[in-house]
Amino acid sequence: MSVLRHRSRVAIVKGTNHYETTKQALGLVIDEVDVEPDDRVLIKPNCVSSKPPNTGVTTDSRVVEPIIEFLREKGVHDIVIGEGGNPGTKKTFRITGLKDLAKRQGVELINLNKDKWEELPIPGSVAMNKVKIARTVLECDRIINVPKLKIHHMAQVTLSLKNLMGVVVDKRGQLMHHKLHEKIVDLASLFTPALNVVDGIVGAERDEVVGSPIESNVIIAGVDMVSVDAIGSAVMGLDPLKVSHIQQAAERGLGISSLNYIDVLGDTLESVRRKFSTEYSDEKLESYGLSRPLSEEDITNMMSNFTERDPRVKNPYAKK
């Protein structure tokens, strides 16, 4: 087990003005962000479903815009917004406002599902020895990771670490969902984002795609994605010590997960903490015949049932 002997810093800023709240959070961590003027920088939002940001499912373009301006203040001009979160990514770009934002700001917008890819080995992997990564991602020098604040029915939470799944191409779900926590960490071990900014203006409780929006009006930002996810989990009322992939990431030396070793800048954790419901996700797992945490039997069932489900079949868990 890796032992980290330093502390990390994570900014929390609460406010109803998307632009100003994000800008304030970035200002608190600006000195730690390692980007150079000649870097090609990828901004990676969460576009997992073709739903607007006010559903709590997708990253808000109004959070991405101050990040672009933040980069330009640092002299960076080669900026790409890229995501491959779902087959309807092109539509999601329009619905979230990212298409209009990219045009207005003069940055590239790339659907990673349509990108060329390279298959990379994962040194020291636990569950996934190799993975196909979109070439655009590999050609960028830095990544700005911009997930949403959400509960996830299998991974417990979906924040910075899990948001990297969108850079994987070719049967992403079938590849990742078996031993999901381990594979999230395997994938994350390939990348060190220069910055992680969690859009918690409107998050999602109960489920990551068909859950309920919950207005938190919070932005979380930091360089250490494990620490950012630990704080994000705590903001949603979950104990990060009990979120498997966050702990595995810390044990493998990817960052700090203990709240005791994370310095919070801006608003306090206590002032923004709000219990997000996991009831729907628990019901969803039960409907699969699975438990939390997943047992080996659960994993076998998931491989034979859930991951092979025809994606054209209507979601049986959608709210009536």
Q: Is residue 277 classed exposed, middle or buried when 0-12, 13-18 and 19+ CB atoms within 10 A define those classes?
A: middle
Residue 87 lies in a domain: yes
Residue 296 lies in a domain: no
Could you tell me the end-to-end alpha-carbon distance of the chain, in angstroms, rounded to an integer? Answer: 46
Percent of the chain's residues with pLDDT above 70: 88
Residue 68 lies in a domain: yes
Q: Give yes or no for a contact between 254 and 189, defined as CB atoms under 8 angstroms apart.
A: yes
Residue 120 lies in a domain: yes
* pLDDT at residue 310, as a whole number: 37
Residue 282 lies in a domain: no
Token duo for residue 138:
């590999």
- Type of residue numbered 163: N
Q: Strand, helix or coil at 96?
A: coil
C-alpha distances in Å from residue 26, one per residue of 102, 219, 318: 20, 9, 36
pLDDT classification of 290: cutoffs 50, 70, 90: low
Q: Give yes or no for a contact between 142 and 42, defined as CB atoms under 8 angstroms apart.
A: yes
* pLDDT at residue 176, as a whole number: 82
User: Do strands 212-222 and 195-205 pair parallel, antiparallel, or not at all (unpaired)?
Assistant: antiparallel
When divided into structural domains, the chain yields a total of: 1
> What CATH number is associated with residue 13?
3.40.50.11440
pLDDT classification of 308: cutoffs 50, 70, 90: very low
Residue 316 lies in a domain: no
- Phi and psi (nearest 5°) for 240? -60, -20
* pLDDT at residue 305, as a whole number: 57
- Between 3-7, 25-29, 210-214, 278-282, the lowest mean confidence (pLDDT) is in 3-7
pLDDT tens track for 142-200: 999 999 999 998 899 999 999 999 999 977 766 787 788 999 999 999 999 999 999 99
Measured N-to-C along each axis, helices 225-235 and 244-251 cross at an angle, to the nearest 10 degrees, of 150
pTM for the whole thing? Answer: 0.90
Q: 138 lies in which domain range?
A: 8-275
